[in-house]
Amino acid sequence: MAIFKRPALKESRKKREMPQGLWQKCPGCSEVVHEIELAGNQRVCPHCDHHFSQSAKDRIEHLLDPDTFVERDANLRSEDTLQFQGVATYKDRLKKYQDATGLTDAVLSGYGMIEGYRVAIAVMDFSFLAATMGSVVANASRARSSTARPIVARSSSSPPPEVRACMKECSA
């Protein structure tokens, strides 16, 4: 006969609610890092230097001198020339990602200054359809490359032939 009785487990143990998006578990070292700390460290883990994904807007903010970015081609929209039909149409996919990211396409481009020098800039955003390169990306990249300013291009995926051609023209 037992002297002590094991207490019955209460089922009313509430799961702790943690606000979404405040903490990130680092895929490099498994440490939990606060968003504020990541934002202050250009989205690099302070424990292991793992680089978290970064939005095009954040990347531009980190690259350019403060308040110098002027967006161009924000009115460009991708064409559905292939009339793609899948689980969702291309137009539906674009709309879904536009609503989710606040971007009109996978690239954010325009002009700004770095250390006081005027530059053209085009930055891809992976969160928009995995930085799929449609006609907007090609047109924005081509438009930026036709200026006399140095170009800063930040890709999040492999550049399509049109962009590679622009890069070749510009480096020649």
Among 22, 32, 39, 48, binds Zn ion (CB under 5 A): 48
Scan residues 3-42 and list those touching Zn ion (CB under 5 A).
Answer: 26, 28-29
Q: Smaller CB distance to Zn ion: residue 44 or 170?
A: 44
Q: Smaller CB distance to Zn ion: residue 29 or 70?
A: 29
Q: Smaller CB distance to Zn ion: residue 26 or 143?
A: 26
Contact status, residue 62 vs residue 40, Cβ threshold 8 Å: no
Contact status, residue 129 vs residue 135, Cβ threshold 8 Å: no
45 binds Zn ion (CB under 5 A): yes
Rg (CA), the chain: 23
47 binds Zn ion (CB under 5 A): yes
Can you say whether residue 163 is alpha, beta or left, with left for phi > 0 and alpha for psi between -120 and 50 degrees?
Answer: alpha
47 closest CA partner among 65, 33, 34: 33
72 binds Zn ion (CB under 5 A): no
C-beta of 157: minimal distance to Zn ion in Å?
A: 24
C-beta of 35: minimal distance to Zn ion in Å?
A: 14
Distances (CA, A) of 90 to 78, 93, 123, 135: 9, 5, 22, 13
Report the interface residues with Zn ion, using CB under 5 A: 26, 28-29, 45, 47-48, 50
